[in-house]
Amino acid sequence: MKYNYFPGCSLEKNAAAYDVSTKAIADPFGLELVEIEDWNCCGATEYISLNLLASYALVARNLAQASKNKDLTQTIAPCSACYLNLRKTDKYMYESSDLNQKVNTALAAGGLSYKPGTQKVRHLLDVVVNDIGFEKIAEKVTKPLTGLRIAPYYGCMIVRPELSISKDSLSFDDPEHPTTLDELLKVLGAEVVDYPLKANCCGGHMTQINDVTAFELLHRLIKGAADYQADLIVTLCPMCQFNLDAFQGPMNRHFGTKFSMPVLYFTQMIGLALGMDAKKLGIGDELIDARPVLAKIGVQVPIPESAKKRPDKEALPMPSPLKNSENISKIKEEIGQ
Amino acid sequence: MNEETKPFEPTIIGFTCNWCSYRAADMAGTARMKYSPNVRLIRLMCSGRFDPTFAFQAFANGADGVLVSGCHPGDCHYINQNYKMLRRFHLMKRVLKQMGIEPGRIKLLWASAAEGAIFADEINKFVEQVRELGPLNWKENIIAIEQPMLEEVAV
Amino acid sequence: MKTEKIPQQRIGVYVCHCGSNIAGMVDVDDVSQWAGKELAQDGVVISRDYKFMCSSLGQELIEKDIKEHELTRVVVGACSPHLHEATFRTACARADLNPYLCELVSIREQVSWVHTDKQAATEKSKAIIAGGVRRVVHHEPLEPLHVPIHPASLVVGGGIAGIQAALEIANAGYPVYLVEREPTIGGHMAQFDKTFPTLDCSACILTPRMVEAGNHPNITLLTYSEVEKVDGYVGNFVVSIRKRARSVKEDLCTGCGVCWEKCPKKVIDDVFEAGLGYRKAVYTPFPQAVPKYPVIDRENCTYYQKGTCKACEKFCPTGAIDFAQEDQMITVEVGNIILATGWQLFDPRRIHNYGYGRLANVFSSLEFERLSNAAGPTSGNVVLRDGKTVPKSVAIVHCVGSRDKKYNSYCSSICCMQSLKFAHLVEEKTGATVYNCYIDIRTPGKGYDEFYQRLLEEGTHFIRGKVAEITDAGRTTDEEGKIIVQVEDTLIGKQRRLPVDMVILSAGLEPQPDAKEVAKKFGISCSADGWYIERHPKLDPVATMTEGIYLAGCVQGPKDIPASVAQGAAAAARVIGKIQQKEIALEPVRATINEDQCSGCRICNDLCPFNAILFHEDRMVSEVNPALCQGCGTCVAACPAGAISGTGFSNEQILSQVEGLLMVNLSKEAAISQG
């Protein structure tokens, strides 16, 4: 399976661990990632709020570069913001012939052009879950993450609704209650916490603009995970990882709390479950050290008393949980898929 | 009145079923929804009653388009007769095409009794579709059928 | 283009003004003059226009003309045939003209109300009248078909609406079969604690009716049974019912209850206790069940699953347990059927943000009814899911799954009153602080708004806002250990987070999960939502488009108990009326096969959904049974030999109508002259 690969600026530096771990797990699953030639920054969230046309053109340049290789029609973006920008630009160019014309005029100045709809942009999680599939992943798991309580954190950008060009491909998971990462972590053998804040915003660039607001949001997320006795948070967006990790200390100081919740990437977890060396997956680079928590892997950890669900004889029975897949298929039914 | 500048007004005959589609037309009426006056409706009890000779008669007498409308699949008042009409409709479309009548001149519309707005909308769309195809002029353009169609339907 | 020599008819044409409804857009004078002149060769001898044809004066006009001008056919251009076809047909009948020789064509709903170009509207009206005239020439005098009405009736569904309908018919002296899927009648009303607005105990007002229905000599109760097949037509339905095996011999069982006392297998009662309580594998749903005979739930019974136990059989003093009992197929003949199959609760698990199924102390409305009910799993104590803690604060959420494009767009009608009732019960039983989060307060019935005023005085907090999220992720110490309801209070314009101990979701009403299949069984239609379609939304909420099948209760749409009872009684009245007439006149729109032309190909046999076409092996011809035929006409269109004709919609009639419609063409180039 061959794809265009758009790492994005963060994967070059701050989120190098994400890049390293992605490439590490690509091999065993036969994912061939062809980095887009001479790609440029996608503008993240800043540029698009300053100058729409210029930012679309900036993003479209990447799509144009990606389309140079006629065999590769799909582009993988591991970073949620890059993913969103690439998808949005493609969609708006498709829908507005006016925008399409203007952007292509700009691209022409550099000898490039892009026909909207040519590149199918996908998030790395989407490719792992749908193209590789849970079965193949389960087969390769040699060191299941048994005993590790993980809070899956999606961030707010990955499953924005209505990113599709046609009705056939809406966002690949439910916008309010996504479950693909939960399922993936379960397949890796971890105990997945039913984290209610999994799609809540981490504040994005608020950490640089207004740290007090950002701290409040980060506090809610980390406290929420800690309240559910999660050992660590696993995420899929470099911005989220950066905020939750690097700003955990300042947040602690601001609130006078002592949280120590490591934040890792899902690709690193896949690598660990496949038995790969932690250092090769970029673990150890994070500011809140994940190693003490990871010491639990392979060791049967007794589940903390408070988290145990002891059937209380006097308690009334709970209704049975609706299967996640039922929910997705019901949603799909409702939207006429 | 300059005839060349006046837009061509197609005449379309529509066959509706008594229970759903005719009531949809009625509903469009009671709700005062406006649509093009080019369609003249005939009420059948069921779309299953629709006989392709009706369409042939319509075209032969000067209609430019034919609309057939019935209950949504699964909702037929007579259980599943609209499926039978569907089979005939497709066959008829093929035959008419072979005779030189563009498939755009015939339309199948499922409409439930509550869908007055959709009915009106679809009529407008169909009128425009037929308008673009121009007048059929069966007698001039298609080989004239000498004997009345009625003789083919022996009763 | 006529081939046969049709005797010249004498046709009267009447163009109605309908006040200014038609005359405002159509030049009615022009139309009637045109018809008199241009259609004279088709047989029109008199053509008039009049203000209101449906008025008695208008009808008298027709009657007078029939007599004076010896009219043999009548065409009226007015409103939709669905409104006044019967009116004009009756007028003709009064003047001794067969009513089926009259045709009403619509120039109001089809023309004046939907077009804006006066000239186009007038031309179209002329075309429509011409179509009608050409058609009516081929009409034949017809007589309606008379079929006898069987005096027995079938009521499907033993909830309050079905019970009411059954009792009314039975009290009028006619036999009724009451079929119910569950082991007992009573429906959802048996689960409720109190009913609004009087706060009567639900079971107390229901059980006397249940007992009456159970004991009534004219009612045959078929519980734990389902209708499998319906054949026949109004007045003569043949219904096959599967009476499922209770594994209990009804003639021996005394209802003593030893069997379920001794049964060792306990299961969660998903139906009656809404999943909050338990029952045994052999059980009656509740103590006042009618009939009193228990049922063995074979899927959970140890004997059926593993082959051991049989405790119930051992202890039964009368030997009424019969493990070998099998389902019984019962066939009944009835004249009329009333469908009262009720509703199911919207599943709140579908709304993930509300936490039902994840957060222990979020309850559904039915769960709360059982909690509050003195005969329920907590003996009427309102407590949290741990079974003991009394809540100090409770939030009640309105419109869960209703008035929502993502789930059901309709309003479920009863939930506002139900939520107010809950607020009252919670306050009364626990003294807790109660918050009702609503979109609108809908209290239209008698005493309903007064009930709302009472709640306001009781100190309930009303927050106007649709609840966004119900979560246990607390942000501050006040929120620790609580369930937080996040809602925008639109009246003060602020976001609020309400930390409460318990949340009750007033989930909406939905049609039964198999509503569509059941509708097909009976030959009636469902709307897109799944509620059954009544004959007329305003003027006929109990009949359906299918003669002989009626609706009662929530099956037709969400409604409260008084409305369900009223509808049940109304459906019963309709049925009683039909039974007393002893026979019913069916529209003579039927197909007939000309034996001489039939070649015996049998293509028509399989096309008929009512199995109305028989094949005579000896003569190798098919024949239509006029009583079963519903007149859809599919066989008419399909016959390759043209041997089948459809009365009322024959080929000549329709083809002539097509010709007539095209007499007046908008397109100047294609004007067709006569012939």
Which residues in chain C are closer than 8 Å to A196, comparing Cβ atoms?
355, 471-473
Is A158 a member of any domain? yes
Please say whether the beta carbons of C655 and B153 come within 8 A. yes
Chains B and C contact (Cβ–Cβ under 8 Å for 3 or more pairs): yes
- Any domain includes A133: yes
pLDDT greater at residue A317 or residue A165: A317
| Structure token digits, residue C609 | 């959904």
Task: Specify the residue for token string 């104590």.
Answer: C381
Q: Is residue A337 part of a domain?
A: no
Token pair, residue B114, equals 């509550």
| CA–CA separation, A62 and A37 (whole Å) | 9
Overall average pLDDT of the C406-414 stretch: 94
A330 part of a folded domain: no
Nearest CA in chain C to B52: C637
**Per residue in C595-629, pLDDT tens?**
888 888 888 888 887 778 888 888 889 998 887 78
CB proximity C628 to B under 8 Å: no
Is the confidence at residue C538, as pLDDT, over 90? no
Q: In this structure, which amino acid lies at residue A45?
A: T
Contacts with C366 (C-beta within 8 Å, 6 or more apart), sequence order: C188, C191, C274, C345, C507
ipTM of the complex: 0.86
How many of the other CB atoms lie within 10 Å of CB of A233?
26
Nearest CA in chain A to C477: A223
Residue A248 within any structural domain of the chain? yes
Q: Are A164 and A171 in contact (CB under 8 A)?
A: yes
Give CA–CA dist C209/C355, Å, rounded: 38
Give alpha helix (H) positions in chain A: 9-12, 16-26, 52-66, 80-95, 97-108, 124-126, 134-140, 180-187, 206-209, 211-227, 238-246, 248-255, 266-273, 291-294, 324-334
Q: Higher pLDDT residue, B94 or B79?
A: B94
Over residues B116-135, the pLDDT tens digits come to 888 999 999 999 999 999 88
The whole-number pLDDT of residue C674 equals: 33
Instruction: Compute the half-sphere exposure of residue B38: CA atoms within 13 Å on the CB side of its CA.
Output: 26
Partner residue facing A316 (CB), from C353, C357, C377? C377
Query: pTM of the predicted model, to two decimals?
Result: 0.81
Domain C344-510 in the same topology as domain C145-244+327-342+517-582: yes
Burial class (CB in 10 A: 0-12, 13-18, 19+), C557: buried
Q: Which of the other chains make 3 or more beta carbon contacts under 8 angstroms with chain A?
A: C
- CB count, 10 Å around CB of C324? 6
Angle C365-372/C415-430 helices, nearest 10 degrees? 40
Q: Can you name the CATH fold of C344-510?
A: FAD/NAD(P)-binding domain (3.50.50)
Residues C432-441, buried b or exposed e (16+ Cβ, 10 A)?
bbbbbbbbeb
Determine the 3-state secondary structure of A106 from DSSP. Answer: helix
Q: Which CATH number fits domain C2-144: 3.40.50, 1.25.40, 1.10.8, 2.130.10?
A: 3.40.50
Closest by CA position to C520, among listed A319, B80, A202, A206: B80
Closest CA to B32 of B113, B116, B111, B112: B116
Residue A302 lies in a domain: no
- Which chain C residue is nearest to residue B9, measuring alpha carbons? C667
Of the candidates A180, A246, A190, A243, the residue with the CA atom closest to the CA atom of residue A217: A243
Tell me which residue has tokens 């019962």.
C330
Q: What is the percent of chain A with per-residue pLDDT over 70, rounded to a whole number?
A: 87
pLDDT digits (tens, 9 = 90+) for C166-194: 999 999 999 999 999 999 999 999 999 99
Residue entry with tokens 């159970």: C214
- pLDDT digit string (tens) for A40-67? 999 888 888 888 899 999 999 999 999 9
* Greater pLDDT, B20 or A163: B20
Length of chain C (residues): 675
Mean pLDDT to the nearest integer, A177-191: 93
Token pair of C362, please?
Answer: 């979020």
Asked if residue A179 is part of any domain, the answer here is yes
- Helix ranges restricted to H, A112-159: 124-126, 134-140
Domain containing residue A48: CATH number: 3.40.50.11810
- Contact (Cβ atoms closer than 8 angstroms) between residue C483 and residue C359: yes
Could you count the other beta carbons within 10 Å of the beta carbon of residue C423?
Answer: 24
* Domains: count for chain A: 1
CATH number of C145-244+327-342+517-582: 3.50.50.60
Q: Which fold has domain C245-326?
A: Alpha-Beta Plaits (3.30.70)
Tell me how far apart the alpha carbons of residues A184 and A201 are, in angstroms, rounded to a whole number.
21
Give the CA radius of gyration of chain C.
32
- What's the CA gap between C654 and B68, in Å, rounded? 14
Q: Are C312 and C296 in contact (CB under 8 A)?
A: yes
Q: How confident is residue A306, by pLDDT bands cut at 50, 70 and 90?
A: very low
Residue C434 DSSP SS3: strand
The pLDDT of residue B139 is above 70: no
Torsion-angle region of residue C642: left (phi > 0), alpha (psi -120 to 50) or beta? left
Cβ of B25 within 8 Å of Cβ of C110? The answer is yes
Q: Which of C140, C137, C133 is nearest to C36 (CA)?
A: C133
How far is the C-alpha of B30 from the C-alpha of B39, rounded, in Å? 17
Give the model confidence (pLDDT) of C313-322 as tens digits: 999 999 999 9
- pLDDT for res A332: 61
Residue B9 phi, psi (nearest 5): -105, 105
CA dihedral angle for residue B43, residue B45, residue B46, residue B50, rounded to 10 degrees? -60
pLDDT tens digits, C280-330: 999 999 999 999 999 999 999 999 999 999 999 999 999 999 999 999 999
Which domains does chain B possess? Answer: 12-154 (3.40.50)
Contact status, residue C273 vs residue C379, Cβ threshold 8 Å: no
Place of tokens 């019912």: C241
| Contact between residue C109 and residue B41 where contact means Cβ atoms under 8 Å apart | no
Burial C142-179 (b: 16+ CB within 10 A, else e): beebebebbbbbbbbbbbbbbbbbbbbbbebebbbbbb
Q: Rounded to 5 degrees, what are φ and ψ at A195?
A: -80, 110
pLDDT band at A334; cut points 50, 70, 90: low
Q: Answer yes or no: is pLDDT of B105 > 70.
A: yes
In a domain, A106, yes or no: yes
Is residue A316 less than 8 Å (CB to CB) from chain C?
A: yes
What's the whole-number mean pLDDT along residues C350-355?
92
List the chains bordering chain C where 3 or more Cβ pairs fall under 8 Å: A, B
In chain B, what residues touch C661 (CB-CB under 8 Å)?
A: 13, 40, 42
Contact (CB<8Å) C651/B88? no
Number of H helices, E strands in chain A: 15, 8
Per the prediction, chain C carries an average pLDDT of 92
User: How many CB contacts within 8 angstroms connect chain A with chain C?
Assistant: 60
Q: Is B1 on the interface with C (CB under 8 A)?
A: no
- At B138 the pLDDT is 72
As a whole number, mean pLDDT of residues C347-371 equals: 95
Considering only residues C3 and C515, tell me which one the structure prediction assigns the higher pLDDT: C515
Query: What pLDDT shows up at residue A280?
Result: 84
Write the pLDDT tens digit of every residue in B45-88.
888 899 999 999 899 888 999 999 998 887 777 777 888 889 88
Q: Which domain holds residue A257?
A: 2-297
Report pLDDT for A305: 44
Cα C485 to chain centroid distance, Å, stands at: 37
What residues 207-266 of chain C have any CB closer than 8 A to a CB of chain B? none
Which residue in A13, A17, A35, A8 sits closest to A290, CA to CA?
Answer: A17
Rounded-to-integer distance, Cα B60 and Cα C248, Å: 71
Structure confidence at residue C675 (pLDDT)? 32
Q: What is the pLDDT of residues C381-402, one digit of tens each?
A: 999 999 999 999 999 999 999 9
What distance in Å separates the CA atoms of residue A223 and residue C266, rounded to the nearest whole number?
41
CB A40 within 8 A of CB A58: yes
Mutate to test the interface with B, among C109, C119, C635 (most CBs of B within 10 A): C109
- For residue B106, the surrounding DSSP H or E stretch is strand B106-110
CB C194 within 8 A of CB C201: yes
**Mind telling me how many Å the CA of C284 is from chain A's nearest CA?**
20
When pLDDT is averaged across residues C441-469 and rounded to a whole number, the result is 95
In this prediction, what percent of chain C has a pLDDT beyond 70?
97
Give residue-wise pLDDT tens across range A186-244.
999 999 999 999 999 999 989 989 989 999 999 999 999 999 999 999 999 999 999 99
pLDDT in tens, A72-89: 999 999 999 999 999 989
Helical segments of C326-436, H only: 365-372, 415-430
Residues of B in contact with C609 (CB under 8 A): 78-81
Residue C394 pairs in a beta bridge with C434, C502
Q: Is the pLDDT of residue A316 over 90?
A: no
Which chain B residues in 24-63 lie under 8 Å from chain C, judged by CB atoms?
25-26, 28-30, 32-38, 40-46, 48-51, 53-54, 57-58, 61-63
A177 touches chain C (CB under 8 A): yes
Task: Bin C216: left if φ > 0, else alpha if -120 < ψ < 50, else beta.
Answer: beta
For residue C406, the distance in angstroms to the closest alpha carbon of chain A comes to 7
Give residue limits of the domains in chain C: 2-144, 145-244+327-342+517-582, 245-326, 344-510, 591-646
| C425 has a pLDDT exceeding 80 | yes
A317 contact residues in C (CB cutoff 8 A): 268, 275-276
CA distances from A184 to A25, A131, A179, A191, C519 (A): 14, 13, 9, 11, 42
Q: What does the pLDDT look like over C547-604, one tens digit per residue?
A: 899 999 999 999 999 999 999 999 999 999 999 999 988 888 888 898 888 888 888 8
pLDDT of C668 over the 70 cut: no
In angstroms and rounded to an integer, the radius of gyration of the C-alpha atoms of chain B is 16
**C405: Cβ contacts below 8 Å, ≥ 6 apart:** none
Neighbours of B, requiring at least 3 CB pairs below 8 Å, are C
Establish whether chain B is in contact with chain A, requiring a minimum of 3 CB pairs below 8 angstroms.
no
**Strand C295-296 vs strand C467-471: parallel, antiparallel, or unpaired?**
unpaired
